[in-house]
Amino acid sequence: MAAFLFSSFHNYVNLQLNTQASILMDQYRVFGNPIAQSKSPFIHQLFAEQTKQNINYETELVALDQFTSAVNKLIANQGKGANVTAPFKEQAFALCDELSERAKLAGAVNTLTFSNGIIYGDTTDGVGLVNDLLRHEIQLQSSKVLLLGAGGAAKGVVQALLAQAPDLLTIANRTLSKAQAIAKQYPNENIQALTFADTEHLAFDIIINATSVGLSGGNLPIADQTLKSAHTCYDMVYQKEPTAFLKQAKALGVKNNIDGLGMLVGQAAASFELWRNTYPDVEPVLAALRAKLNE
């Protein structure tokens, strides 16, 4: 009995110490709605272990009208930064005191940094995508790149793709005006906006899906011959099984078919570097995440 009581007391003390330690740590959150599915705490915990950083990173489900108060609460409680996911990226953009150039172009923010009373906003999605392509030894420079979609996901990666100096970046979208509006933001770049039908007789090296179509399991309205012309198809989303887009590409014999898990880890690594000033090794974290996804 005495041993049991001692052990219970010991556990209680440990719990209190752990709770206190995590309260004293620099706090980070990922804000979203829904958020339970987020892999970000897992990724950032591994980054922190690897780089010996003492941080606490958790998910936070935020009610649709509570984003600003969630941010302020975090700042008041040792908050040093946060990731922001759907549907708050535009609200985060509007809330920032200062913004990176790439966040201004994207009109959205996925990374908040709190420092000296200032909220600084950046977007690391584009660099996450580009770094993942480069990691796969896919050369963007001088390539013909087709980006499918013109929603928030597409808009967030255009600047980073153009920074790699592709021969031409084509944005194809169901609603042409949205693709045109993005292209207009970059008047001095090799960029054009088309409908899906317009792409039918064109050839590309790299095709990137930034539409939400893959998630619902449907096929994109893109011609087989257009898909076949590419050596690489990249889907910005990921799931346990290959997405409909990647299945379609593989069936047509496209050489490299890559899902967005590496982009997820890449954008997290870029956020982590902004906060902690050290760039983690993405490779082991991506391997651990892939294994977890296949569990």
- For residue 116, the minimal CB distance to ligand ATR (Å) is 31
33 binds ligand ATR (CB under 6 A): no
- For residue 151, the minimal CB distance to ligand ATR (Å) is 2
Coil, strand or helix: which one is 25? coil
Strand order in the sheet with 79-84: 55-61, 26-32, 79-84, 111-115, 118-122, 98-99
Find the part of the chain contacting ligand ATR (CB under 6 A) among 75-83, 184-192, 207-215, 246-254.
207-215
Name the DSSP class of 212.
S
> Quick one: which of 104, 135, 174, 250 contacts ligand ATR (CB under 6 A)?
174
Q: Peptide bond preceding 280: is omega within 30 degrees of 0, i.e. cis?
A: no
CB-nearer residue toward ligand ATR: 81 or 156: 156
| Residues whose CB is less than 8 angstroms from the CB of residue 56 and which lie 6 or more positions away in sequence, other chains included | 22, 25, 26, 27, 28
> Quick one: which of 81, 126, 149, 280 contacts ligand ATR (CB under 6 A)?
149
231 binds ligand ATR (CB under 6 A): no
152 binds ligand ATR (CB under 6 A): yes
CA proximity to 276, closest of 52, 29, 66 = 52
CA proximity to 254, closest of 225, 230, 218, 283 = 230
- For residue 74, the minimal CB distance to ligand ATR (Å) is 23
- For residue 213, the minimal CB distance to ligand ATR (Å) is 5
Q: Strands of 40-78 (E only): list them.
A: 55-61
170 binds ligand ATR (CB under 6 A): no
Torsion, Cα 152 153 159 163, to 10 degrees, reads 180
Token digits of residue 64: 């649709």
Between 177 and 196, how does the x/- string for binding to ligand ATR read (CB under 6 A)?
Answer: -x------------------
- For residue 179, the minimal CB distance to ligand ATR (Å) is 8
Residue numbers annotated as active site: 89
> Quick one: which of 173, 199, 243, 257 contacts ligand ATR (CB under 6 A)?
173
161 binds ligand ATR (CB under 6 A): no
d(CA 242, CA 235): 9
* Binding positions for ligand ATR, rule: CB under 6 A: 149-154, 173-175, 178, 211-213
